Structure 1
Amino acid sequence: MRHEPATREELGCAIREIEALLERLRAKEAQQPAPAPGLLERAELMYQERRSRDRLFGTDLFGEAAWDMLLDLYIHRGRGALVPVSSACIGAAVPPSTALRCLGKLESRGLVVRRADVDDRRRSLVTLSDKGLRLIELYLASSWVGLG
């Protein structure tokens, strides 16, 4: 079976369809539901407290990279920001190799999702999965941090 080469019009039409699909994907990514009232602030406070503790005691004494990464991803989600893998690793406040192992564990447990960035295919983005979002909000809603 022999195929005829595509015409400029056909290629242009295909490109417009792809652009429309990408635009719909970007719009869908931007429509993340807002966190429950007070939970974003609680997550920010927890994360700031952990960084303050690290400044006083050092980063090698206490270690919960997975929790730091989940908090950071939750905060970014609440602010409507997309998170590249490199930024997620920084949010874990550990060396990159440790952060990548941690990210793999979170991914294997279904707490985060890693996918290609539609705007830059060279990088991957990380988001909380529905399960990860549900569990972190459940924890934040029942925690004592920030309650007066």
Structure 2
Amino acid sequence: MTDGIGRVELRKIAATLAKLTEQIDKSARDLASPVSSEPIVEPIPPAQSYVPRKAGDSLSMAEALFAERRRRDSVFNQQTYLLGEPAWDILLFLYIGRQRGWAVSVAHAARATGAASTTALRWIARLEGDNMVQREIDPFDRRRVLLRLTDGAASLLDTYVDSLRPIGS
């Protein structure tokens, strides 16, 4: 009789593990899916204490930098690990999102790096620990976590992006 109860419990545990594995696989597939050209984020007002100096020029330059990194990845295809800088991709993507008024989820920021989801999530945690990004609960969908640049990180990116000049100018 004890064996029968033990087997029933083991079957329940196995079924639960199978469901969890399926959910983890789905999450991994979602994180690994390519970033579309259209943002899957909703516009929200930018942080009130931060005002970009030259929003138009800074935004254009940041978008060009991000697009260039994706072009480079497409050329190097299987060797992108040689060129990877997930932290920089995350910062650039969040900078663009901030300038455009997007609410960027952690999952979308991770996908935008093109790196493995575990790598991107590890870098997000590191950037958060270094006070470069902050997580917050989406006020419209409490199940979703949003990621934002801190004001200090946005200011550093402003300084860097503003210091760049287009080729030939």
1:44 to 51, 58, 63: 63
Structure 1 residue 139 and structure 2 residue 160: aligned?
Answer: yes
One-letter amino acid of the structure 2 residue matched with residue 106 of structure 1: L
Cα distance between partner residues in 1 of 2:64 and 2:159: 16
Q: Alpha-carbon deviation of 1:80?
A: 0.8
Aligned Cα root-mean-square deviation (Å): 1.7
Counting only pairs closer than 5 Å after superposition, residues 72-83 of structure 1 correspond to structure 2 as 72-83=93-104
Structure with more relative contact order (C-alpha pairs < 8 Å, separation 6 or more): 2
Q: Aligned partners of 1:117 and 1:105: how far apart in 2?
A: 21
Residues 115 and 144 (structure 1), Cα distance of their counterparts in 2 relative to 1, 3 Å cut: same
TM-score, scaled to structure 2: 0.66
In structure 1, C-alpha distance between the alignment counterparts of 2:167 and 2:107, rounded to whole Å:
29
Provide the C-alpha distance between the structure 2 equivalents of 1:80 and 1:145, rounded to a whole number of angstroms. Answer: 24
Identical-residue share of aligned pairs (%): 39
Return structure 1 stretches of 4+ with deviation > 2 angstroms: 31-35, 143-148
SS of the residue aligned with 1:30? coil
3-state SS in 2 of match to 1:125: strand
Deviations 1:119-142 (A, max 9, x none): 111110000001110111111111
Which runs of 5 or more structure 2 residues have no equivalent in the other structure?
1-43
Per-residue deviation, 1:145: 4.7
Of 109, 115, 139, the residue aligned with 1:118 is 139
Written as runs of structure 1 = structure 2, the 5 A alignment for 1:1-148 is 30-32=45-47, 35=52, 36=54, 37-58=56-77, 59-145=80-166, 148=169
> Are the equivalent residues in 2 in contact too, given 1:115–1:124 (CA < 8 A)?
yes
- 1:15: which partner in 2? none
Closer, same or farther: CA 34–41 of 1 in aligned 2, 3 Å: farther
Cα distance, 1:118–1:57 mapped onto 2, change above 3 Å:
same
Q: Is the 8 A contact 1:113 1:128 kept in 2?
A: yes
Q: TM-score, normalised by structure 1?
A: 0.75
Alpha carbons 2:46, 2:99 under 8 Å: kept: no
User: Post-superposition shift, 1:144?
Assistant: 3.7
Amino acid corresponding to residue 146 of structure 2 in structure 1: L
Q: Deviations over 1:95-119 (max 9, x none)?
A: 1100000000110111111011111
Secondary structure of the corresponding residue to residue 82 of structure 2: coil
